[in-house]
Amino acid sequence: MLPQTLRTTDIRLSNKLHLLQFVRQRGEVTKPEIEKQLGFSAPTVSTLIDEMVHEGFIKYKGMGSSTGQGGKRPKIFTFNPTGRGIIGIHIGVRSIQAALMDLEANILFRVDCPLKPKVQIHTMMSILDSLIKECVDEARRRHIFLLGIGLGCPGVVDFKTGKVLRSINMPVLEQESFGDIWIKEYDIPAWIDNECNNLALGEKWFGLTGAAGTTLNLLTEEGIGAGIIIDEQLIRGASNSFGEVGHMVIERDGAQCHCGNRGCWEMHSSTSALLSLLEKYANQSAILTEALEQNGELTMDDIVNALEADDKVTQSIAIKELSISLSIGLTNLVNIFNPDAIIVHGEMTRLGAPLLSELRRIVKEQALPISAEQVHIAFSELGEEAHLIGAGALCIKELFEFPEALFRKDETI
């Protein structure tokens, strides 16, 4: 029985969404295949296909093979990701990125703006507005109809309201709500979430994890956080703070963390912690000393260059010591969650195979055997566009769960 509140239009939109998801997942389909697999009538399939071809969600690809009885060759249809557009945004500690994307999170146009340390919120909002306007203008120039905005940022985000509740590494964001202004100005929905949650969605939809049931997507930058999918569902927790794994205490009397505790995992194993430690011992390495004197600080470029030059100090700290401290947290996560995969994101992945092989070896030795045998640890292959792809994945996921927004009318066609 259908609820009385479910209108005919709701049923039609639901059927339309179901059909589009089927086409998207299958790659290439014919009308007879849709009728058979979804149980829709031939007139319903024909009407919905023709409608979505006109709207740009589906495109005609060619003719299929005729049946064994010599019947007509069926038309082949496929998903058209460029038929509509979205905007993906990432607010990071050092920069804001924004991109016009298609419905497979392919970047069509991108703009970035660096952020100064201790940037004020009004300056950040002004930059955001400017970048979004550039993407909207580019969409109009390309005649792309925009469906929504996805945004990722560091911190605890109330997903229902779009408000940043807490951001230890970027406190300027705290208590700010994003999206309302853009909804009013551009008449499109906006979704905001923690950057690690978005990375988890990006990997699931467009990266390495795919159909894996339980995955941890670990981001190691200024801090450490995780986007966690359990049984194929993204978990946000009772107060949206699920995945704040960087504040797991791994050393009782360790370094003071911004959160107020001591010995948090991110104070020993994040990218920032690694760079700080290498700066401390830079005087023992000629290549690090030179880089530090030239720039006043070390960057991951300097560390990669030092490793390529076979610098022993860098090898000892960036591979051996880092792998030990990072593996403490990884081992705990493997034992707690028993995941299919842990995907590591962030600049630390530039340390490459030497670090990855050590992490795999140590976790296999230290984690419980059953969990250790199950888990696959890898570095993300989404590259430096991972945050934007994640923001795009958030928007796409929500659109495909909200047909009223996905199939919003484009008055120009």
Please state, in angstroms and as integers, the Cα–Cα distance from residue 386 to each residue in 4, 19, 339, 397, following that order: 43, 29, 21, 16
How far is residue 6's CA from residue 8's CA, in Å, rounded to a whole number? 7
**285 vs 100: CA distance, rounded Å:** 44
Confidence check: pLDDT of 3 > 60 = no
Tens digits of residue pLDDT in 213-260? 899 999 999 899 999 999 989 999 999 989 999 999 998 888 898 888
Give the pLDDT of residue 6: 36
Average pLDDT over residues 142-171: 93
How far apart are alpha carbons 64 and 354 in whole angstroms?
A: 49
Please say if the pLDDT value at position 211 is more than 70.
no
CB 313 within 8 A of CB 303: no
* CATH top class, domain 85-201+387-407: alpha beta
- Domain boundaries 208-381, CATH class: alpha beta
Dump pLDDT digits (tens) for 163-177.
999 998 899 999 988
- pLDDT at residue 266, as a whole number: 94
Mean pLDDT of 175-189: 84
* C-alpha–C-alpha distance, residues 401 and 96, integer Å: 27
- For the chain, helix, strand, coil in percent to 5 are 50, 20, 30
Helix/strand number for the chain, H first, E second: 16, 15
Enter the tokens of residue 373.
């045998």
Average pLDDT, the chain: 91
11-79 and 85-201+387-407: identical CATH topology: no
Q: Is the pLDDT of residue 408 over 80?
A: yes
Is the pLDDT at 8 greater than 50? The verdict is no
Return the pLDDT at 154.
Answer: 94
CB 158 within 8 A of CB 240: yes
pLDDT reading at 2 higher than 60: no
CA angle 293, 299, 304 (to 5 degrees): 105
Please provide the CATH number assigned to the domain covering 11-79: 1.10.10.10
Residue 9 pLDDT: 52
Q: Where are the domains of the chain?
A: 11-79, 85-201+387-407, 208-381
The answer to whether residues 304 and 350 touch, using CB atoms and an 8 Å cutoff, is yes
**Sorting pLDDT into bands at 50, 70 and 90, what band is 66?**
low
Residue 413 has pLDDT above 70, yes or no: no
